[in-house]
């Protein structure tokens, strides 16, 4: 009887994010994409930090990244980006999300995100992310459909032509247990 119970226990599926567990962001790549009729440009940051706490069936995650760490390869463009996003007044971008523990072995999850950026808070519903497991680590990728108007950012312009409103942010995160 005890042997049967033990085998049953072993067959229980492991949760995506185990109860009463803390997760830490091990690696990150966040890339924004800006479109202009003359050219496209991207800025990337590898400096995000994050923490996730799972408790009583719910997991809360916080990811934060300094605005100044985004690098587009052009110092003038980066400075202009910091200026137009009020990056000196609001130096951090923070993302909070709430995941139910029931998102166990799913290869894709959908998360509601609260993003604070440029002094504004924007809410994104049901943003899809792909999840893969590598040992004890979780690799999560996806794209956040951000726009300049979401954060009340004045569109920068080049040669009097403004950039497009859509500024999608590609996310590539690796989480590991603390």
Partner 1 sequence: MKARSAKFRPDVSVLLSLLILLTFTSFSTAQQTTATLSGTVTDAAGKPAAEVKVTVKNAATGHSSDTQTDASGAYSIENLPPGDYEISASLDGTAATSKVTLTTGAPQSVNLSLAPAQNLPNAPSSSQPAPNQTSPSLSDLGFSASETQANAREQALLDKRTHMLKIHQRMGLITTIPMVASVVTSLNAGGKNEGSASRDLHVALGALTGDLYGITAYYAIRAPRIKGTETRGQIKAHKILAWIHGPGMIATPILGAMAFSQKNNGEKVHGIAQAHGPVAIITAGAFGAALLTVSVKF
Per DSSP bridges, beta strands 21-35 and 120-134 are unpaired
Choosing from 19, 27, 74, 149, the residue that interacts with partner 1 (CB under 8 A) is: 74
To partner 1, the closest distance from the beta carbon of 9 in angstroms equals: 26
Which region, left, alpha or beta, applies to residue 73 given φ > 0 means left and ψ of -120 to 50 means alpha? left
124 forms part of the interface with partner 1 (CB under 8 A): no
CB of 37: closest distance to partner 1 in angstroms?
A: 10
Phi, psi (degrees; rounded to nearest 5) at 6: -65, -45
Least distance CB 117 / partner 1 (angstroms): 11
Instruction: Indicate whether 139 belongs to the interface with partner 1 (CB under 8 A).
Output: no
**If residue 87 lies in a helix (H) or strand (E), which one and from where to where?**
none
- Angle at CA of residue 95, ends 54 and 72, nearest 5°: 135
The number of residues that bind partner 1 (CB under 8 A) is 48
CA distance 60 to 21: 11
Q: What's the min distance (Å) between Cβ of 1 and partner 1?
A: 37
Other C-beta atoms within 10 Å of 160: how many? 5
User: Footprint of partner 1 on this chain (CB under 8 A)?
Assistant: 38-41, 49-53, 55-56, 58, 60-62, 64, 66, 72-77, 79-80, 82-84, 86-92, 94, 96, 98, 112, 114, 116, 119-121, 123, 158-160
């Amino acid at each position: 009887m005890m042997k049967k119970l033990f085998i049953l226990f072993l067959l229980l599926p492991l949760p995506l994010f185990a109860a009463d567990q803390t997760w830490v962001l091990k690696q990150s790549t966040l890339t924004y994409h800006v479109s202009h009729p003359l050219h496209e440009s991207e800025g990337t940051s590898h400096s995000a930090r994050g923490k996730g706490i799972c408790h009583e069936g719910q997991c809360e995650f916080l990811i934060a990244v300094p605005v100044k760490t985004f690098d587009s390869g052009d110092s003038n463009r980066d400075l202009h980006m910091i200026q137009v996003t009020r990056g000196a007044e609001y130096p951090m971008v923070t993302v909070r999300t709430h995941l139910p523990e029931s998102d166990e072995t799913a290869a894709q999850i959908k998360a509601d995100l609260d993003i604070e950026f440029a002094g504004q808070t924007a809410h994104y519903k049901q943003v899809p992310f792909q999840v893969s497991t590598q040992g004890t680590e979780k690799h999560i990728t996806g794209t956040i459909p951000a726009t300049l108007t979401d954060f009340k950012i004045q569109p920068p312009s080049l040669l009097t032509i403004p950039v497009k409103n859509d500024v999608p942010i590609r996310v590539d995160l690796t989480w590991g247990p603390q």
